[in-house]
Structure formats: structure tokens, C-alpha cells
Amino acid sequence: MTALSDRPTTHAPAVGSDVRRIDGPAKVRGRAPYAYEHELDSSPAFVAIVQSPVARGRVVSIDASAAEALPGVLAVLTHENAPRLGEVVEEIRVLQSATVQYAGEPVAAVVAETSEVARDAIGRVVVRYDSEAPDVVLSVDRDDLYAPEQLMAGFETDSVIGDVDAALAAAPVAVDVTYATPVQHNQPIEMHATVARWDGDVLRMWDANQGPHNLVPVLTSAFGITEDQLHVVSPYVGGAFGSKAFTHVHQLLAGMAARVTGRTVKLELTRQQMSSLVGHRTPTIQRLRLGAEADGTLTAISHEVVEHTSRNAEFAEQTATATRLLYAAPARRTTHRLARLDVPAPTIMRAPGETPGVYALESAMDELAVALGMDPVELRVHNEPARDPERDVPWSSRNLVACLRQGAERFGWAGRDPRPRVREVGRRLVGTGVAASTYPTRRRPSQCRIEAVPGKATVVSIDASDIGTGAWTALTQIAADALGVAMAEVDLRIGDSRLPKASGAGGSTGTTSWGPAIQAAAQALRERVHAEHGGQLPAGGVVVTGSSGPGEEVERFSMHAFGAHFAEVRVDRDTGEVRVPRMTSVFAAGRIVNATTARSQFLGGMTMGLSMALHEESVLDAVHGHFANHDLAEYHVATNADVGEMDISWLDEVDEHVNPLGAKGIGEIGIVGAAAAIGNAYWHATGRRVRDLPITPEAFFRGE
Amino acid sequence: MREFRYEKATDPAGAVATLTAAPEGAYLGGGTNLVDLMRLGVATPDVLVDVRQLTSTEVEDLPDGGLRIGAAVPNADLAAEPRVRERFPLLAQALLAGASGQLRNRATTGGNLLQRTRCTYFTDVTMPCNKRAPGSGCGAVAGYHRNLAVLGATNRGGDDGHTCIATHPSDMAVALRALDATVRVLGAEGERAVPIGELHRLPGEDPSRDTTLAHGELITAIDVPALPWATRSRYRKVRDRASYAFALVSVAAAMDLRGTGPDAVVADVRIALGGVAHVPWRATVAEDALRGGPATEEAFAAAVAAELAAADPLPENAFKLPMATNLVTRTLLQISGEARA
Ligand SMILES: Cc1cc2nc3c(=O)[nH]c(=O)nc-3n(C[C@H](O)[C@H](O)[C@H](O)COP(=O)(O)OP(=O)(O)OC[C@H]3O[C@@H](n4cnc5c(N)ncnc54)[C@H](O)[C@@H]3O)c2cc1C
Ligand code: SF4
């Protein structure tokens, strides 16, 4: 094999080429086992969950006798008899007490011989509650809003530079607007599922998650076992978007059920259960105040966020953090305040923070452009900061202006008439809008092991996670180049907690974290073979490890991907129906490893942004405290028919600072700002500024 | 979910006998609605009598130029049937506006007529709902009701045992209502013909009953009488997304226009609305107002306004009134415009 020459030249580089998904054929043939499909046992048992309809209160009594009497029922777990869990965060202390903190909280679980019997039995568990009226309505007037210690991902809660109020008061042109986004739910096609089994004192789990190692600290602590006593396997995952990042109650319930019954158990949540058991995106209320000189120079930016978290957890979404860097302005302020409500714990949903926050900022920027009588592209270009405006460090690379220019060109922005409600095609009002996008570039500690044996495919092991993104393919490409072999000569192993520890799939960090770890291991292999074996791979083979993690670049640079979205919107003037016939988006996201899977990520993000703009809203029932529209017939996500022409491109951006791969992460930037471009186009079409999402048909009739 | 027995009868009469003897049983058509409701614990039949292979899958000509549609004709086939497309375009359009390709392949004509409301409190057994659990109250009135009824509902605030503001979700039924179809029903006592306007009922004092059918009555066919001017007809549906969503408001309309140009007169007209009531809503007030009058935008808008005068919307669904007004007006203008052309 040629793996070990210093400058591998026998193979065209795989990175950057347009390789199809290597896991595609197995997936379309149904041969790629997802969590629930692992056939480990000819007679597994099944778990079904009894959920509280009460959002706030306590369980007074549980009568499980009728359920237990049903033939086929193996056990009914309640807070009275369930195994005690070790230390875990409160939001997942399932069946440990009589307290109920949100509608849908599990109060019992049935283990039965078949899923049908389990589901029959849950209807026979009689639970009595003491309940109080839930408190689920978020508003800026609540007197219990509080500032969290810090935000998710360690961001500061507030940032203040200069005298913002004075700058706003003095600004010749200003906007003061409040935007709201609703609760949204991740809807991956694969519902959360776990198969669990205890082999003696070893817990094995085949599970849908965003990285088996993510589960290790929680499961070992919960079940009082060591890392060696836990094995989590997750080779294929059918989408996640953040909902499978953390350990949720169903994984603990599966482990408990398996322990109590001594059986292999299967637990799959229903779509309806996903609304309460695996998190949601917090609603936000965001006040944006922008001040500018008459020429469009921003003098002040203020972005104040109110959002919710649950009684049992503090999830502080970093909604205004992108506002800290998108535009230059001498006076600037971002704040975040939370209300603790009787709701399930919120969680990560694609680009948490940036998605709702940039929606509001970029909508307000459009309003400012209108107030200034300035083209919205030019307003953004005009306020381009030379350095990170709050951290005062240089950009590792920043090509927002190039994205805006290229996007404007491709979209045909030039000569746009800025006036609203002056274009019609048939009975449809037509408008166009623009918005910027940004997403942080990070990497997380990851380790990789490589085993090279002459004449065999090189085994590359890393507990990376492919949640449908294409990691199987991209990492094989990266490994092939790093080793100087063809992709077919790489035997990649991912999705298993017994593999070298790596970060989970999330925060658009997968490729940027795992890729450099693979590169480091390949480099170690090359060095070892040269130093110890004279450049020839010995017959017995060589095993090496390599690792990668954030370095000094984090302090020296402000590192972000950027993008620009352009959208055309058509609104039926009779019915208010909104359609988006076309979008053009341009991204600057560093090196693109695989054009096909990258395009899928951008496209998926943009589609989710469109869906957020027009469709997605989980309605909290103020009386009962539950999410009323908790299935896919009522919680609308965009269908194929809603997605028009999607023109996606990216710049050939070279960034030597971010990581050895030069990649910036592409999983989330596509959604950021997309909803603002559509909302801005809606205004341009109709003259109506809708400041709360989604923009459903009735928005057109409000106030009429 | 409850365990159930699955039965296949050999003929319609056998099916009726089986179900009549099983007070908690149900007929199974394509199952696209019933099986969902069983999974949710909303429907708990102990016996399913499969009628998909039992009732007709044929569309036959009636002597008057109308059509007889077998109860088991799949929605997809009915939409594609050339005689339907030619004689009753509004019916084909309504079918195609519903659900998705896969569901339309599976769903039957009989089952479509009897599909149940999509009210989210009805489909959640932990919530109060007078339709599912009579006397438990109506969760929708104080809760999520954006897509529920503005006409003909019973609304006494939600806490009483009668309130129900549910809508009937079928698109097809709206077109059939405009066409004055007749539903042919087989019961233990023999056959009867039910005008479609008498099939579905308003919630009144008993929201648990969607229709006037007795337990065990089997829909065998639907007769659509001839309506020569239905060749100029339309079904339009307003929905949240481009496909695969229930109607916020829909209209099925046909018009018989006499004369030409500005002097044209509406000799006859059919208008039915979907998404607004517990039944496919026949807009008789609007029809009466239009018959014999001019085919102008003003006349159309005034007629809808008269129809909707009886509406009693809630804050979250009040938008349906201007939406319906615009939709009906525009649809009638389109039909009359085509007629003039
Ligand atoms: C996701 C989704 C989206 C949908 N969107 C739409 C939409 O946009 N528009 C729309 O109109 N519909 C829509 N539907 C509903 C769909 O049209 C109905 O589910 C379907 O028409 C029901 O037909 P079926 O044969 O499957 O009925 P089944 O589910 O088999 O039966 C429905 C009811 O009818 C009874 N029944 C069936 N056949 C007979 C008979 N011959 N005699 C007496 N009783 C009978 C059953 O006992 C049951 O009570 C949607 C459904 C789903 C799941
Ligand atoms: S509107 Fe009707 S179906 Fe809905 S909750 Fe009220 S009673 Fe039940």
C-alpha cells in the first residue's frame, strides 16, 4: 500500500470531490439498521409510557392492577417501584418522585411481551393527580424574568458596549421593533428509539443519538456503572437536529425496564410523545432597536431577548449572540432573560440561538433599510466590521460581503423597486427580500485510532456520529486523503461508545472536529512507520492514535461562517396563502469536503428556515399546558411542494486558521437568516410587516 | 389501543349482520383514518369488518347522466375517472386537493365521507372532548381552535356537555354536497337513500354523533345526479402549505350562467363550503341571493356576506370570514369568467 509515502500522489484527492454517500445503497435497501431495527433477540419485550395530562402537580395514587393483570404484561414501573437512579440532572429524573412538572411527563411505564399489549396496558393504569393551573404563557411583562448565569455553550448572558440608550436617542434614524418566534419542535424522520439489554452488569444500548459518547456520563451515573460497563451502539441515525444530542427520559426508562425484567427491551417514542419528551425550541420575544446616521452607518444596536425554560432545567438559548458580531456599531447591547414555566425542558434545535436571533436582527435591519430609504444589501455592506466588533480580534476569514454580492448577482437583485405591494402576477403579490447568515466555527476534542495492516483496508476508528448528514462519506474521504489511499481502502468505524472518544454531532462541529483527529492519527501513522519501520508497514501492522481539539486560534480569531439568502415570495391576495417560488443562497463556509452532502446540508437548512417562516409552530394550550398540535397533521413542516427553486452556491473560501482541514461546518448556517429573507420579501410583496412567526395565511387578514 | 378481531364478510348483508351484532365494532375501509384513531386510543372497536373488498370499486353511469360511485372506489381512482373529470370537475379537484398520493390510493369513498374531525382535543384521549367523551367538556373553545368551525357550532363556553366547534375535514364531501349527491345505505332493515345534506349533522345537543347513520349501516354507493352545467365548476382550497394540509376554508361551486357580457344572469348556482362547520356547508343563503341576479363581483361578495352573517367565530378563527368571502367571490368570478369566454 501507498499509505505511507510523504506526499501521496497516486490518488486524486477525495476531499472536495463530489462523492456519493457510501451508506446510500445500504440505506435504500433497508440494510442499514437504525436503532429500533437491530435484531438482537428473537423475543424482545416492549416498553410503553404513561404520561401525565397534568402540567403541574403530583401523583396522588397509581393503580396498576388492571394493567398488571393483562396477559403479556411483564412489569409496570412507577415512581413507587422503579429502580432508583444515581445522580442525573433533574429534568430526566424519571419515575423518581410523585411530582409532575410538565404535561406529558412519564408517570409509569409498562413492559410487555408485545408492543400491542404494552400500549393496551398503558390505558389501564389508573393515575390520580393533585393538580394546579399551569403557568405556560411567556410575556415580557412577567415579573419573574431572570438573568441566567450564562447562556448555552458558555456565552455571556449580556453584553454592553457604550451608552446604547444615548446613542439610540441621538440617532437620526432608528427602529424599535419587537419580533416573536413560537415554540418549534424537531421532527427527524426517525423517532427516538432505544433497544436496551443488561448482559450481567453491562448495559448495552442500540440507540438513536447524536454521538454515543454523549450518553456515557449520564448513563454511567444514572445506573451506577463504570464506562467499561456501558456499550452504546448507533451506526445509523435518521435525523436529529439537536433533539438527540442529550440523554432523555426514554433512554433511562429503557435501561430501567431492561434491568427490572432481565429482557432485551425496545422503546420507541411516538411522534406525539416527542413533543414533550425530547425538547423543543424555546419561544422568543425579541426587542430590536437600531440607530443609524442618515447615510446608513449604524450607531447603536440593542437586542433584548425574553425566552422560556422549564421548572426543572435551565436551558438558556443564546439568541442574541450573533448580534454581537454581525455588524459594526459603536454602542451595542444584547441581553437574555428567562421565565421558568411549567413546560418540558427546551433543547437544541438546528442553530439554537442564531436561528431565532438572526431572524429578528435581519428583519429589523430590513425595517431600518426601509426607514433609511436604502437598499438592504447596501445597508449590510455599509456596516461591515473590519474586526469582531465586541471581542476586538481579527476574523479568521469573513466573506459576508462577497456572499451578498454574489447572491445579488445570481438572484437578479439589481434594479429592485424598493416599494412594497406594487408587483402582481395574476392574483399574487410578489416581493423579494434579503438577509445575512452567520454561524460560529468551532471544534471539539476528538480522538481517532488507526490500525494499518499490509494488504488490508486501513481501519479508522472514531466515535463520530452520522445523523444523516453524510459523515460516513466525508470522514472516509478525509481519511483516504490523509492516508494517501483510495476511499475503498478505508474501513471507517463510527457510532460506538467503545471506539475512541469523539465529540457528538452538533454545533456544526462534526467534520471540523473529527476530520483533524483523523488527519492527526494518519500523520502519527506516517511518522511511526518512518521512524520505526524504515517507511515500510511491518507485516504485523501498526496501531496509532491521534487527537485534535480547539487550540490558540480560539483566542486569536473570531471564527464564523457567513452566508446571504435572497427569497422571492408570492402572496395570494384573495386567500393570504404564501409561497416561495425561489431562493438563492450563497455561503462562505471554508473548505467544502463533499459537494453533494454539503449541498444537502445547505438545502436542508434553507428548507427548515422556509418551514420556520411559514409553517412551524407548536401551540401551548394555556389551560392544560400541553402542546396541542402535537402530530405531523397539525404541526406543519414544509412539504416538497412548498419548496421552489433553490439556487445554492458557495465561495471557494480558504481559511488557514480555523483548523487543519480549513472547514467551517455547514450543518446549521443554511437555516440561519432564511426566515428573515422570506419575512422581508413578504413585506415587500404585501406592505404588511409580520413580526411573529409563522406567516400563515391569516396574517394577511389581521386587522381587517 | 385495544385488541380487536378482524373479519371479512362474504357479502354486504353479511357485513351488516356481523356489525349489527357487534355494538362496539366498526367497518374498515382503507383504514387511513380509523387505524390512526385506534392507535391513539380514540376508537376502540373490538371487531373490524373489512368492507373494502365487499362494496363496489366501480363507477357506473346512471340513466340520467349521473354517476354511481361504489363505496370502495379509492379516492385516487375516483379523481382520475374520466367521467368524473368531464362531468364533475369540482369533484375530481376536491379529491386531488386532499391528503397525499399514498393516502388517496388507500382511502375509500365511503370512508372519506365518514372520516372524523381533526380537532386536536378529539384525537388526544387525555383532553376533554364532548365528541369523544360526551359530557367531558370541549377543550378547543378555550384552547387551540384556529381551524375549527365558524358556522353552525354549539358553543356554550366549552365547559358544558354540549359545546363542540369541530369541523368536518373532508374535501370530497364538500363537492358532493354541492352536487346534491345521495348516499346509498344498507342496514339491518334493508336499503335506504340518504341525501348527503342529511348524512352529516350539526353538533346540536349531541356532538358525539357526526352523522345520522345508525350503528351497522353500511354505505354501499354514492349517487351523483346529472348536472349538465357542473362542467363549469371548481373546487378551491385554502391551506397552510402547498400540499398535504386540511382546508382552512374551501369552496365547491358550479354556475349556470345565461346570457353574455355584463347582462349575463345567474340562472342557477351551487356553493358548498369546507373547513367552516361540523358538516360540509351548503351555502343556500348565498345561492338564493344570487339566483336570477347579475354575475358581478359585488353580487358575489354580497351573497357570501349574507351567508356568513350567521357566523359566530372565535378570536383565533375569525380570519376564516374574510378568507371565505374572498375565496368564494374569486371562485365564482373565475367560473363566470370562463362561462363568458
Ligand atoms: C395525514 C393525513 C392527511 C389527510 N389530508 C386530508 C385532506 O387534506 N383532505 C381530506 O379530505 N382528507 C384528508 N385525509 C383524510 C382521508 O381522506 C381519510 O382518512 C380517508 O378518506 C378515509 O378513508 P378510508 O377508506 O381510509 O376510511 P377508514 O379509515 O377505513 O374509515 C373511516 C370511517 O368510515 C367508516 N367506514 C368506512 N367504510 C365504510 C362504509 N362503506 N360504510 C360505513 N362506514 C364506513 C369506518 O368505520 C370509519 O369510521 C388525510 C388523512 C391523513 C392521515
Ligand atoms: S370542538 Fe368538538 S371535537 Fe373538538 S374538543 Fe370540542 S367537543 Fe371535542
Give the ligand whose atoms come closest to the C-alpha of residue A623.
2
Share of chain B above pLDDT 70, in %: 100
Report chain A's mean pLDDT, rounded to a whole number. Answer: 96
Residue A10 is predicted with a pLDDT of 58
Q: What angle do CA A632, A637, A640 make, to 5 degrees?
A: 115
pLDDT digits (tens, 9 = 90+) for A526-558: 999 999 999 999 999 999 999 999 999 999 999
Report chain B's mean pLDDT, rounded to a whole number. Answer: 96
- DSSP assignment of A426-477 equals TTEEEEEEEEEEEEE-----EEEEEEE-TTSPEEEE-----SSSSHHHHHHH
For residue A24, pLDDT over 50 is answered with yes
What CATH topology corresponds to A2-32+443-549?
A: Aldehyde Oxidoreductase; domain 4 (3.30.365)
Helix (H) or strand (E) run with residue B258 in it: strand B249-258
Ordered by start, the domain boundaries in chain B are 1-52, 55-341
pLDDT digits (tens, 9 = 90+) for B277-331: 999 999 999 999 999 999 999 999 999 999 999 999 999 999 999 999 999 999 9
Please list, in sequence order, all residues whose beta carbon lies within 8 angstroms of the beta carbon of residue B36, skipping any fewer than 6 positions away.
Answer: none
In angstroms, the CA A403 to CA A23 distance is 32
Rg (CA), chain A: 26
pLDDT digits (tens, 9 = 90+) for A231-287: 999 999 999 999 999 999 999 999 999 999 999 999 999 999 999 999 999 999 999
pLDDT tier at A703, thresholds 50, 70, 90:
confident
Instruction: Give the residue carrying C-alpha cell 354541492.
Output: B178
In angstroms, the CA B84 to CA A380 distance is 55
pLDDT digits (tens, 9 = 90+) for A614-623: 999 999 999 9
Q: CB neighbours (10 Å) of residue B83?
A: 15
Q: Which residue of chain A comes nearest to B146, CA vs CA?
A: A698
Please list, in sequence order, all residues whose beta carbon lies within 8 angstroms of the beta carbon of residue A162, skipping any fewer than 6 positions away.
Answer: A300, A330, A331, A332
Task: Give the Å distances, CA to CA, from A658 to A416, A441, A444, A476, A564.
Answer: 37, 7, 12, 21, 21
Q: Which of A615, A622, A701 sits opposite B323 (nearest CB)?
A: A701
Length of chain A: 704
**Which of A52, A162, A68, A69 lies closest to A108, judged by CA?**
A52
Residue A1 is predicted with a pLDDT of 40
Catalytic residue annotation of A:
668
- pTM tops 0.90: yes
Residue A504 is predicted with a pLDDT of 96
Residue A704 is predicted with a pLDDT of 56
pLDDT digits (tens, 9 = 90+) for A309-362: 999 999 999 999 999 999 999 999 999 999 999 999 999 999 999 999 999 999
Residue A3 is predicted with a pLDDT of 45
Q: Read off the pLDDT of each residue in A149-168 and give the average, rounded to a whole number.
A: 97
Please list, in sequence order, all residues whose beta carbon lies within 8 angstroms of the beta carbon of residue B245, skipping any fewer than 6 positions away.
Answer: A636, B239
Q: Does domain B55-341 have CATH number 3.40.50.2300?
A: no
pLDDT digits (tens, 9 = 90+) for A648-687: 999 999 999 999 999 999 999 999 999 999 999 999 999 9
- Which of chain A's residues have a Cβ under 8 Å away from the Cβ of B330? 427, 574
pLDDT digits (tens, 9 = 90+) for B174-185: 999 999 999 999
Q: What angle do CA B316, B317, B319 make, to 5 degrees?
A: 110
Which cell numbers in the block locate residue A334? 444584547
The answer to whether the CB atoms of B139 and A624 lie below 8 A apart is yes
Task: Give the Å distances, CA to CA, from A462 to A446, A459, A471, A498.
Answer: 8, 10, 11, 9
Which cell numbers in the block locate residue A635? 404541526
Length of chain B: 341
Q: Which of B2, B39, B240 sits opposite A696 (nearest CB)?
A: B240
What CATH topology corresponds to B1-52?
A: 3.30.43
- Which of chain A's residues have a Cβ under 8 Å away from the Cβ of B125? 123
Give the ligand whose atoms come closest to the C-alpha of residue B171.
1
Residue A665 is predicted with a pLDDT of 93
Q: Read off the pLDDT of each residue in B216-228 and give the average, rounded to a whole number.
A: 98
Identity of the residue numbered A599: R
Taking the CA of residue A690 and the nearest CA in chain B, the distance in Å comes to 15
Both ends of chain B: CA-CA distance in Å? 56
In angstroms, the CA A78 to CA A62 distance is 8
3-state helix, strand, coil in chain B (%, to 5): 30, 20, 45
Q: Which residue of chain A comes nearest to B138, CA vs CA?
A: A623
Residue B158 is predicted with a pLDDT of 87
pLDDT digits (tens, 9 = 90+) for B188-211: 999 999 999 999 999 999 999 999
Which 617-646 residues of chain A touch chain B by CB within 8 A?
619, 621-624, 626, 628-631, 633-634, 636, 638-642
Residue A5 is predicted with a pLDDT of 46
Identity of the residue numbered A416: R
Q: Buried b / exposed e across B211-225, counting CB within 10 Å, b at 16+? A: bebeebbbbbbbbbe
Which cell numbers in the block locate residue A170? 441621538
Ordered by start, the domain boundaries in chain A are 2-32+443-549, 42-133+192-268, 152-184+280-441+556-702
Do A2-32+443-549 and A152-184+280-441+556-702 have matching folds? yes
Give the ligand whose atoms come closest to the C-alpha of residue B156.
2
In angstroms, the CA A565 to CA A647 distance is 10
pLDDT digits (tens, 9 = 90+) for A365-393: 999 999 999 999 999 999 999 999 999 99
Q: Does domain A152-184+280-441+556-702 have CATH number 3.30.420.40?
A: no
Q: How many CB pairs under 8 A join A and B?
A: 98
Do the beta carbons of residue B241 and residue B97 sit within 8 Å? no
**What number does the ligand 1 atom closest to the CA of B75 have?**
21
pLDDT digits (tens, 9 = 90+) for A586-596: 999 999 999 99
Q: Which CATH class is domain A42-133+192-268?
A: alpha beta
The answer to whether the CB atoms of B323 and A626 lie below 8 A apart is no
DSSP H stretches of helix in A187-332: 212-223, 249-261, 271-277
For residue A439, which phi and psi values (nearest 5 degrees)?
A: -150, 135
The answer to whether the CB atoms of B238 and A623 lie below 8 A apart is no
Please list, in sequence order, all residues whose beta carbon lies within 8 angstroms of the beta carbon of residue B146, skipping any fewer than 6 positions away.
Answer: A619, A698, B316, B317
Q: Read off the pLDDT of each residue in A634-654 and give the average, rounded to a whole number.
A: 97
pLDDT digits (tens, 9 = 90+) for A169-217: 999 999 999 999 999 999 999 999 999 999 999 999 999 999 999 999 9
Do B1-52 and B55-341 have matching folds? no
Question: Judging by DSSP bridges, how do beta strands A106-112 and A73-78 pair with one another?
Answer: antiparallel
- Which of chain B's residues have a Cβ under 8 Å away from the Cβ of A701? 319, 322-323
Rg (CA), chain B: 20
